Structure 1
Amino acid sequence: MIVVLAPDSFKGTLGAADAAAALAEGWRRVRPDDEIRLLPMADGGVGTLAAFAAAVPDAERVSVRVTGPDGAEIDSAWLRLPPTAEAPAGTAIVELGATSGIELLSELRPLDAHTLGLGQAIAAAIAAGVTRVVVGLGSSASTDGGTGMLRALGARFLDADGGEVPLGGSGLAAIAEMDLSRLAALPPGGVVALTDVTNPLLGRRGAAAVFGPQKGADPAQVGLLDAGLANLARLVDADASTPGAGAAGGTGFGLLAWGATLEAGAGAVAELVGLPAAAAEASVVVTGEGSFDGQSAAGKVPTYVATLARGARVALVAGRITPDADTSAFAASISLTELAGSPEQAMAETARWLRDAGERFAAEVA
């Protein structure tokens, strides 16, 4: 029997490749003769760069020093893919999570965290001469509408007195004018942003309302951030209702304003790693992520994998599965929190509990 293991990363505890390996170890305890194919996934968030690095021979990590989301200098990297007919000078993969991600913060900063580092990494890749840039969006620390990123690429955001507004979401409402005269041109092959959500920029499903609380914003701050994003949308020639514009605190919208296109991250990574063909041959597909909740239906890896693997029995494993999550697409589901007895235990020994989950799936789903 062919078994495909295609989990996303378990954020803060285990990368996708290690998660797949742990599931495989558990499965083999019960069914050692099955053919197991490990295809670690990502959806544009943390782990996207690693997924491309694992799937593309001769991919090269390029070190870059950038300003992190709290203003501190950090060491990061982008990935150069080899030349292709579509990108004769190579493609750069830049991951927001590695430059401006929430996991880079020691404490949440809902109003003043920013995406300056993402723009600096993109600028470095363009200066290195790549033909095309792919940006993985997800795990953002900020709700700045991508203005920090655009500032690093040459844009200026001015208040009514002509002064630069501060970085972060708190400055958005004060923007009275944008100066795009020095904004960097897109590379010849363009810029593609991989999104893990389909939310618009504004409103009850927008960047501030849905994701602001995850970044530490209280109700008053959510209102302030949404109003700031609305002010930005009035000044920018881009459609705030575009699915994915609200990704990464509105960085999807900022990339649209620059001229980038948005694509579903899970689908792009799946094509790269060969998941569609593998799922078509599989009897069982196991997928997962750190938290499977009510938002997981909007572009996250497990839901996409379940849609893709229609001819196989699909199983879900997650660090936690919230009560509002719809698991009807899966033949079986396991929460590591329930398996371990507590969130703390699940996070402390994620690989151990994933091995146990793989063992259970082999006994119950195969």
Structure 2
Amino acid sequence: MKILVAPDSFKGSLTAMEAAENIERGILKADSEIEVDLLPMADGGEGTVQSLVDATEGKIIEKEVTGPLGNKVEAFYGLLGDGKTAVIEMAAASGLPLVPEGKKNPLKTTTYGTGELIASALEHGVKKIIIGIGGSATNDAGVGMAQALGAEILDAQGKEIGFGGGNLDQIAEINLENLDSRLDDIEILVACDVDNPLFGENGAAYVYAPQKGADKEMVEKLDQNLRYFNQIAIKELNKDPNQISGAGAAGGLGAGLVVFLDAELKAGVNIILDIIDFESKLKGVDLVLTGEGMLDGQSIYGKTPVGVSRTAAKKGIPVVAVAGTLGDGVEKVLEHGIKSYFSIIDRPADLKEIVERSPELLANLSEQIIRTIKL
């Protein structure tokens, strides 16, 4: 029997590779003759860089960049094993965890550091950049990111506008003539699993800005500024950001990456499956074990286990999912290629204990799954 182990990370507990290794440990305890292939997975969110670096034998690059509040922070990105692809999590440079609780303010936070990570990746001669845009602290429509790459975003006096979504209404001119020329030959894919427009009641400000520290008045200001940015982008760049599905992702960074860098927004898990050539990894496989920290009804909307199961189902390969916890509507995953699902929790316990025991719990569950199959 050949089993492909392809889990996402168990957030706050295990990286995707650690999860895969513990699943393997359980499988081999049940039957040491089983052939096991490990393939750490991701969906574009937290852990994507590490998962893809592990899966392709790439490396992590550390880089000091401008944080969301303009201070210097230590960030990172990944170079994949092919030497031609970089993977960036915008949250590493411009994420909410980088902003102290009392200083959250999307009127001021910037994506400049994300642009600096892109510039650093270009120094390695990559031909493709994958950017995961979850977990942002920002609402600046990617203007900071573009400024870091040489775009001139000017006010009425011909000066660069300041950082943050609160300054978007100061834009009078957008000049991309000095944008880093190395971007001309680069394919940029953006892992985006939301379809929010740039502005309006379902847009970046109203839906996401409150969790970034915005009160009602700030939300209204941010939304007005995003509307203004949309108008100026049409006028200056002949592009309408609000027509882009997912434009409102990451405080409008989804829109900014498209209008400034001609990026393409795609479902994160589909990008990952393509990058690692997942279908080729299924050759000769009898069973796939996948999983993540939480499996529920929302997992069918772009989460790793369902992305894996849909692909495996095309080849008639059964998939079993393991999870830290099972949430409401989890039974929906059974309609998308997953044949059965299990939680690692073996007895009542608090979250701290479960996290501490997660390697053991995951190995034990995997062992029992294989013992049951072998019956």
Query: TM-score, normalising length from structure 1?
Result: 0.82
Deviation at 1:323, TM superposition (A): 1.9
Residues 365/151 of structure 1: CA separation in 2 closer, same or farther (3 Å cut): farther
Counterpart of 1:180? 175
Matches within 5 A, 1:254-333: 254-258=256-260, 259-279=262-282, 281-293=284-296, 295-310=298-313, 311-323=316-328, 326-328=332-334, 329=336, 330-333=338-341
Instruction: Say which is worse superposed, 278-287 or 333-342, in terms of deviation.
Output: 333-342
Structure 2 spans left out of the alignment, 5+ residues? 234-238
Deviation at 1:286, TM superposition (A): 2.2
Deviation at 1:295, TM superposition (A): 4.5
Aligned length: 359
Counterpart of 1:10? 10
| Counterparts of 1:255 and 1:100, CA distance in 2 | 14
* 2:27 matches 1:22: no
Counterpart of 1:341? 349
- CA deviation profile, 1:147-184 (whole Å, cap 9, x unmatched): 22112123344566766554333444x34424324333
Matches within 5 A, 1:37-76: 37-56=37-56, 59-76=58-75
2:249 corresponds, among 247, 250, 263, to: 247
Counterpart of 1:87? none
CA contact (8 A) 2:53 2:79 kept: no
| Counterparts of 1:35 and 1:164, CA distance in 2 | 58
Counterpart of 1:93? 87
Deviation at 1:119, TM superposition (A): 0.4
Q: Which structure has the greater CA radius of gyration?
A: 2
Task: Give the match's secondary structure for 2:271.
Answer: helix
| Counterparts of 1:53 and 1:255, CA distance in 2 | 23
Deviation at 1:209, TM superposition (A): 4.8
Query: TM-score, normalising length from structure 2?
Result: 0.80
| Counterparts of 2:272 and 2:204, CA distance in 1 | 23
| Counterparts of 2:218 and 2:353, CA distance in 1 | 33
| Counterparts of 1:219 and 1:324, CA distance in 2 | 32
Matches within 5 A, 1:208-219: 208-212=205-209, 215=212
CA contact (8 A) 1:284 1:365 kept: no
**Paired residue type of 1:14:** L
Aligned-CA RMSD value: 3.3
**Paired residue type of 2:188:** V
Q: Percent identity over the alignment? A: 33
- CA deviation profile, 1:266-292 (whole Å, cap 9, x unmatched): 223223334213335433322223344
Task: Give the match's secondary structure for 1:138.
Answer: coil
Deviation at 1:65, TM superposition (A): 1.2
* 2:231 matches 1:231: no
CA contact (8 A) 1:78 1:92 kept: yes
| Counterparts of 1:297 and 1:307, CA distance in 2 | 10
Deviation at 1:340, TM superposition (A): 5.9
Residues 184/25 of structure 1: CA separation in 2 closer, same or farther (3 Å cut): same
Task: Give the match's secondary structure for 1:331.
Answer: strand
Deviation at 1:210, TM superposition (A): 4.7
**Paired residue type of 1:352:** E
Matches within 5 A, 1:168-207: 168-172=164-168, 174-181=169-176, 182-185=178-181, 187-202=183-198, 203=200, 205-207=202-204
| Counterparts of 1:245 and 1:12, CA distance in 2 | 29
Structure 1 spans left out of the alignment, 5+ residues? 85-89
